Amino acid sequence: MRRLCVILVVTGLATVGVAAQQKAAGGDEAAIAKVRAAYNSAIQAQDAAAVAKLYAEDGTEMPPNAPAAKGRAAIEKYHKDLAQQIMIHGSSIAPTDTRVSGSLACDIGTYKQQVMSMKTGAIADDHGKYVVILRKEGGNWLIANAIYNSDLPLPAPPAKK
């Protein structure tokens, strides 16, 4: 009987431990969702400084058709330069898989946006996918690495004159 009680207590403690881990992961996933929403808002506002603040000091953004930007200053510069070329309208980010393991997390998903050329005013619809690795520092989730790319093919080169 005593052995049965010990087994039940150990099983009960293990169950409580697993439930606590799941609850913590749920809190982390909510915090990661806030980072995702802040990124989307900053992109739509063309706020390069706000985008850069979401990254770890040594974070890296790997945009399509451009070199990687490493560090907050480089990420901010990339977004300032990008804002001179295009404006993002109506963007949305949809996570498909978010996993947390200790102080690291991986957020995978898709995005949709309209991109307006600052030069011509032409608007194009775009959609694609992303992978973001986040790192928890000082209780806050920060982007450590982000890569994203369009599902659409590159436009054809202009015709030779």
Domains and CATH numbers, the chain: 2-150 (3.10.450.50)
DSSP 116-149: EETTT--EEEEEEEEEEEEEEETTEEEEEEEEEE
Residue carrying the six token digits 């510069």: 77
pTM for the whole structure = 0.81
State residue 8's pLDDT score: 36
| Radius of gyration (C-alpha) of the chain in whole angstroms | 21
pLDDT tens figures, 47-86? 999 999 999 999 999 999 999 999 999 999 999 999 999 9
Query: What is the length of the chain?
Result: 161
pLDDT tens figures, 2-42? 443 334 333 343 333 333 334 346 799 999 999 999 999 99
